[in-house]
Structure 1
Amino acid sequence: MYEEFIRNRITELRMKKGVSEYKMSYDLGHNKNYIRTITSGSALPSVSGLLNICEYFEMSPSEFFERDYPQVIKKAEALMMELDEDDLLFVLSMIQRLVKNK
């Protein structure tokens, strides 16, 4: 699951930046096939390699792994951060009930 996310996220960010796999590989100081081996599923970057990739895209690791949630979910998350544990458990039970009855 995470392997596929990493591959897809690198491809997404690389395309947004408008660079080829070949150029990105060289920019990171690797051979021309480095990014291709990651995005094809043949290999995964090491932890230091992933940190270098995050730096290449000028983002933190948490930003790299952040998913694009709809704005309403982000708003709900921000509000839930203000709740105590009992209230959070109540909200969780309500969400589980709604999903179950769907």
Structure 2
Amino acid sequence: MYEKFIRDRISELRLKKGVSEYKMSTDMGHSKSYIQSITSGRSLPSLGEFLFMCEYFEITPKEFFDDEIKEPMLVQKAMDGIKNMDEKDLNILITLIDRLNEKEQ
């Protein structure tokens, strides 16, 4: 069950990043078929390679496994921007988020 989730999540995130299996494999310093061997079910990444993949996608391992996050790479980018905001700006942002979420309901 988890193996399929990992394979599917790698494929999903790779497509959102807009890179091919070949490009991701070579970007990570592996043979051109490395990612294809993972997504096809022939192998799984080691823990070290998994952590490197998270860095490649610019997300945390927690975000990798949280399938309720629709756009984990964008959420992480937003979090990076939020980290240095002061209280006033954070409250404005929270108000905006609440308003946008109300529109979706």
Contact 2:63 2:69 in 1 (8 A): no
Q: Which residue of 1 aligns with 2:23?
A: 23
Q: Which has the larger radius of gyration?
A: 1
Shift of 1:68: 1.3
Shift of 1:67: 1.6
2:62 is aligned with 1:62: yes
Match of 1:6 in 2: 6
Unaligned runs of 5+ in 2: 71-105
Contact 2:24–2:35 (Cα < 8 Å) also in 1: yes
- Between the aligned partners of 1:59 and 1:67, the Cα distance in structure 2 is 13
What SS does structure 1 have at the residue aligned with 2:30? coil
* Mapping 1:1-102, distance limit 5 Å: 1-68=1-68
User: For residue 2 of structure 2, what is the amino acid of its counterpart?
Assistant: Y
Deviation at 1:69, TM superposition (A): 6.7
With normalisation by structure 2, the TM-score equals 0.64
Q: Given the superposition, is the C-alpha separation of residues 67 and 46 from structure 1 closer, same or farther in structure 2, using an over 3 Å criterion?
A: same
Structure 1 residues 48 and 34, CA gap change in structure 2 (3 angstroms):
same
* Alpha-carbon separation, structure 2, partners of 1:32 and 1:39: 13
**Post-superposition, which runs of at least 4 consecutive aligned residues in structure 1 deviate over 2 A?**
none
Q: How does the TM-score come out when normalised to structure 1?
A: 0.66
What is the number of equivalent residue pairs in this alignment?
Answer: 70
